[in-house]
Amino acid sequence: MARSADARTLRAGERAMQTPKIPRKAAAGLVILGVFFLMALVGPLVAPHDPMAFVDIPLQPPSRVHLLGTTGQGQDVWSQTIAGARSSLLVGFVAGLMMTTIGAIVGAVAGTFGGLVDDVLSLLTNVSLVIPALPLAVVLAAYLPAGTRALLVVLVTTGWAWNARVVRAQVLSLRNKDFVAAAIVTGESRLHIVFREILPNMTSVLASCFISATVYAIGAQVGLEFLGLGDMSLVTWGTNLYWASNDAALLTGAWWTLVPTGLSVALVGTALVLVSFSLDEITNPRLRAVSASARALAARGIRMGASTPVVRDHG
């Protein structure tokens, strides 16, 4: 009986090591992102009030009529939070995609061609990295006309270089692999090798770059608009915080005009970071081995860290 029980636990441990599972961090992050995406897509259609309309006495605390109270201009905070999710997430993810695309192209071309091309693109990348991103973003946003397009230009200009550096380093480690040498022998052009051979093998790296760029874009957008460097006629999470600060919400104790938007930004950022960590855990062989070992020990009722690994010699 004992041997059969040990065999069952051993088989369960082997299945745990062989069966890939979605990490809990990824599941939690995807659920949070799903809620906010749903809010952005259908929220404005079911919002109780027009986010820009005067609906009640200013600075009313949360109640049955207004779930999150009203702003200093008498607008419904719940409706503004919902409306701000659409614009902020749209700008954040579009800017993240643009930064990742530009960084991937620059880094891949620099790492593949080498020589003068690599020197010029690396110099451009290094100059962009040396200039502090936040002061540059403030200067650009102050001089460009307010609007979504100008905000995208500011975010992409200040955020593409990190992705280029990461992609270039990864390309340098892949360009000497056998599949690249085989493509060169068959007479493929360098551009074909970059976009059809190397970049498809960097999917996990590009996904992590995209997530990091999106986190930066959302945070920078909210920060710039909080400083009054955006289009204040739009309803975004950044403008919500700007008007709450302009109405001295902290001094008057009107916490409900700040907390919903701030909590939304924090939750989205946390969800993206959880997905990024989980993606690294899935694609990194070392982290994947550690997770598989932990699942195997859990299947046998052993807590991770409470046992010492033993190598069994079957010879």
pLDDT per position as a tens digit, 80-103:
999 999 989 999 999 999 999 999
Nearest to 300 by CA among 3, 5, 4: 5
The pTM assigned to this predicted structure is 0.80
Per-residue pLDDT at 38 = 92
245: β partners = none
More confident residue, 315 or 90: 90
CA–CA separation, 179 and 185 (whole Å): 10
Mean pLDDT score, 25-47: 89
**pLDDT grade for 10, boundaries at 50, 70 and 90:** very low
CA–CA separation, 79 and 9 (whole Å): 53
What residues contact residue 132 under an 8 Å CB cut-off, 6+ apart?
Answer: none
Contact yes or no for 17/292 (Cβ under 8 A):
yes
Q: Which two tokens stand for residue 174?
A: 């892949």
**In the predicted structure, residue 151 carries a pLDDT above the cut 80:** yes
Residue 36: C-alpha distances to residues 190, 231, 264 (Å): 41, 23, 8
**pLDDT grade for 2, boundaries at 50, 70 and 90:** very low
Per-residue pLDDT at 293 = 56
Cα torsion angle, 186, 165, 273, 146, sign: negative
Percent of the chain at pLDDT > 70 equals: 83
Nearest to 44 by CA among 12, 79, 20: 79
What residues contact residue 54 under an 8 Å CB cut-off, 6+ apart?
Answer: 73, 74, 75
Contact yes or no for 250/101 (Cβ under 8 A):
no
Nearest to 163 by CA among 223, 97, 218, 114: 97
More confident residue, 230 or 291: 230
Domains of the chain: 21-299 (1.10.3720.10)
308 residue type, one letter:
T
Per-residue pLDDT at 115 = 86
Collapsing DSSP to helix, strand or coil, 76 comes out as strand
pLDDT per position as a tens digit, 253-311:
889 999 999 999 999 999 999 998 888 777 765 555 555 555 555 556 666 555 555 55
- For helices 259-283 and 237-246, what crossing angle results, to 10°? 140
More confident residue, 243 or 230: 243
**Cα-trace Rg, the chain:** 25
